Structure 1
Amino acid sequence: MAAFPQHKAQRLGRADGSRKGGLDERAAGVVHLLNGRTQFCTTSSCSGRLVLAQGPPADISSGGIPKKNCTWLMVTHELCSKGDVMTALEKATGDVVLKFEPFVLHVLCQELQDAQLLHSVAIDSGFRNSGITVGRGGKIMMAVRSTHCLEVPLSHKGKLMVSEEYIEFLIHVANQKMEENIRRIDRFYTHLESALKTAASADHSPREETGKSRSVYTRRRKRKTIQERDVDASPKDRNEELEPEDDSESNLDIFAEITI
C-alpha cells in the first residue's frame, strides 16, 4: 500500500471515537505491540464485553431489537454478577437483550503477507472467524474475530420475560465465555510477539545462497584443475582423481541450487 507510513500517522493521530474514549486495558498490549511495527496500524478494538442493550419495542417478525436508537443499561469488560444485571433491568422500559461480545480487532496492514501473518496467529489463538479484506485503493484490512458470542432477549416493553434463575444461568455462561476470551487474548499476544520476532529475524538473516554457490564454483574449478594438471597422466590415474567428483552428483548439486 502506497504512502502507508503517512496514512498510519494520520490514523493514529485521530481522536478516539469510541463511547469509552480510550483503549480497553486488556486490549492495550496487543494494540501497542502492533502499532510499534511499521507494517501495522490498528483502527478499532474491543477487549470483549457483556452488555444489556435496550431498544424500543421491536416487531418480533422483523428480527428483534433494532440496532438504531439503542441504549446501554449496563456494560462491563469484566466478569459480572446477577446483582449487576438485576439492578440494570430495573431501569428497563423497552426491549432488553443480554449480549456477550468477544474480543475484536481491526488492523490495517501494509502488505498482504503482513495480513497473512496476523491471520495465521489469530486462527492459531482461537479467533477462528478472523479474515482479510482488500478494499478500494488497495487497503488491506485484517479483522480478528471469534464466534463464541451470546445474545438473549430478557424483557419486552419493560416486562421481564424470563425467571431470575434463568438470568443467573445466563450470567454463568457469559462469565465462562469472558474467561475463555481472556485466555485467547493472552494466547494471541504471546503468539503474535513470537511470530513478529521470527519474521524480523528472517528478514535480517544472511542469505545462504552465496555460500552454496561458492562451493559449487569451487568444485567446478577443482575438476578443471585436475583435468589440466597433467596431460601425460594415464587414464587410470585420471579416473581415480575424478571419481570423488562424479559428474552426475555434481549436476544434481547444481540443479538443487537452481530450485532452492
Structure 2
Amino acid sequence: MVSPSRFNEKKEKILKLLDTPAGEYHDLSPKGSVDEPIRSLISDINSIEGLVTTSSCSGRISVFLEGKKRHVQTLDAQHGDEGSRTSPGGKGGGSWLFISHSRVEVPKSGPQTDLLSKFGIQRSSGTGDSSPTVESSYIHLKFEPMILHILTASLEYANRVLTVGLHAGFRESGAVSLSPFQAGELNPMVAIRSTGYSFDAIIGYQDRCGSNIALVDNDYLRTLVDIANERFKINSERIARFSSFLLKQRMQSQSDESPSFNVSTRRDWEDADVRRRRKREEGLTRQRALQKDSSATSTALDPESVESVNINGLFS
C-alpha cells in the first residue's frame, strides 16, 4: 500500500475534480474537459494505486492561427493595438479555428465538402490580399497523437508505467521530477507520448485586414486530412495497446509495499523498431556462431590433409 503522502492528497483532489458534473467541469484545455475517446483509459489509470492523471489529450486534428509575432506586437502596441503575443511557433497566443478529437470525415464521392470553409479559411481573391511575409500570422493544420501526464507515487511506479508506454509504441515517453520534493518523497511525472507521427503543415495566413487566406487548394487540403485520418488509426491502435498492457501488468501490493508488474513473457505485439533491432542481433549472433564453427573446423583439420587443398589462384 502507498502510505498517506503528498501524492495521495493530490490524487484525492484530482479525482474530486474529475467527479464534477459534466456541465460544471472545466479545465485549461481548448475543449475544457477530458476527451471522450480516452475517458475509460483515464478511469482505469486513476483506479490503480500509486497513479493519477494530471492532463491528457486523446489526439487531435486541429487548425491553429498563430498570434502576432513579438516584434509585430511591439509595433502595434505603439499604435494602441495590444494584440496577442506569441513566439514564431505560435505558442503563447493565437486561436483555434478547428479542433476534432476523431477522424474528419471527407466524402469520397459526390459533392466534396469545402474543407477551406470548414476550417475557417477563404480562397485568395488574387487582388486585394496582401502577400504573406515572415511577420505574418500563419495558419497550421496539425495532427497530434495522444499524450498523457501521469503523476506517480514513487520511482518504481514511474518505471513500470514508462515501460508499458514504450512497449505500446509511445517511443518519446519519459519521466521528470526525479528529485525528492520534500522529506525524501519522490513523485515522478511520466509523459506517455509519441511525437514521431505528428505533423504540422502551414495552409494559410492572416492578412492585414484580418482575413484568413488559404495558401493551398481544397484538393491538397483533403490530402492532408486523409493523412491525418490514417495517423488517427495508428494513434487508436497504440492507445488500445497501452490500455491492454497497463491493465494486464497493473501494479499489485506486496508485503514490502513495493509495486510490481506481472510482466507477461508472451509477445502480444512488438514495435517495428524493436523487432528490427532484435532481428539484427539474432542475425549477428548466428553469423558469429557460424564463424566460430568455421574456425573450429579449420583448426581441427588433419595437417596432412592441407596438402590436398587447391591453392591455385588464391593470391592472383
Letter in 1 for 2:57: C
Q: Does residue 105 of structure 2 align to residue 105 of structure 1?
A: no
8 Å CA contact 1:98, 1:154 repeated in 2 = yes
Q: Does residue 159 of structure 2 align to residue 116 of structure 1?
A: yes
Give the aligned partner of residue 33 of structure 1. 44
Measured against aligned partners, the alpha-carbon deviations of 1:53-76 in whole angstroms (never above 9, x if no partner) come to 1124659xx974522221111100
| Matches of 1:3 and 1:58, distance apart in 2 | 40
Q: Does residue 201 of structure 2 align to residue 152 of structure 1?
A: yes
Measured against aligned partners, the alpha-carbon deviations of 1:12-46 in whole angstroms (never above 9, x if no partner) come to 33454133232212111221111112211110011
Measured against aligned partners, the alpha-carbon deviations of 1:184-228 in whole angstroms (never above 9, x if no partner) come to 1111101110010xx42x837xxxxxxxxxxxxxxxxxxxxxxxx
SS at match of 1:96: strand
Q: Classify 1:163/1:58 alpha carbon distance in 2 versus 1 (closer, same or farther; 3 Å).
A: farther
- Residues 80-99 of structure 1: pairs in structure 2 closer than 5 A: 80-81=104-105, 83=113, 85-91=115-121, 95-99=138-142
Give the aligned partner of residue 99 of structure 2. 75
8 Å CA contact 1:130, 1:145 repeated in 2 = yes
SS at match of 2:249: helix
Q: Does residue 58 of structure 2 align to residue 47 of structure 1?
A: yes
SS at match of 2:169: coil
| Matches of 1:173 and 1:132, distance apart in 2 | 30
8 Å CA contact 2:67, 2:95 repeated in 1 = no
**What is the CA distance between 1:151 and its match in structure 2?**
0.4
Letter in 2 for 1:120: T
Gaps of at least 5 residues in structure 2 are 18-24, 71-85, 107-112, 123-128, 130-136, 207-211, 256-316
Gaps of at least 5 residues in structure 1 are 205-260
Letter in 1 for 2:165: A
8 Å CA contact 1:57, 1:65 repeated in 2 = no
8 Å CA contact 1:65, 1:95 repeated in 2 = no
* Structure exhibiting the larger radius of gyration computed from Cα positions: 1
8 Å CA contact 2:26, 2:33 repeated in 1 = yes
Identity of aligned residues (%): 27
8 Å CA contact 1:131, 1:143 repeated in 2 = yes
SS at match of 1:178: helix
Q: 2:90 aligns with which of 66, 75, 78?
A: 66
Q: 1:143 aligns with which of 173, 177, 191?
A: 191
Measured against aligned partners, the alpha-carbon deviations of 1:103-161 in whole angstroms (never above 9, x if no partner) come to 00001000111111110110111100100112561331011001211100000222211
Give the aligned partner of residue 172 of structure 1. 226
Letter in 2 for 1:53: F
Give the aligned partner of residue 7 of structure 1. 10
| Matches of 1:58 and 1:87, distance apart in 2 | 25
| Matches of 2:14 and 2:239, distance apart in 1 | 24
Give the aligned partner of residue 20 of structure 1. 31
- TM-score w.r.t. structure 2 length? 0.57
Deviates more, 1:176-185 or 1:90-99: 90-99
- TM-score w.r.t. structure 1 length? 0.69
**What is the root-mean-square deviation in Å for CA atoms of aligned residues?**
2.7
Give the aligned partner of residue 238 of structure 2. 184
Q: Classify 1:76/1:112 alpha carbon distance in 2 versus 1 (closer, same or farther; 3 Å).
A: same
Letter in 2 for 1:150: F
Equivalent pairs counted in the alignment come to: 200
Identify the structure with the greater helix proportion. 1
| Matches of 1:126 and 1:29, distance apart in 2 | 20
Q: 1:129 aligns with which of 172, 175, 195?
A: 172
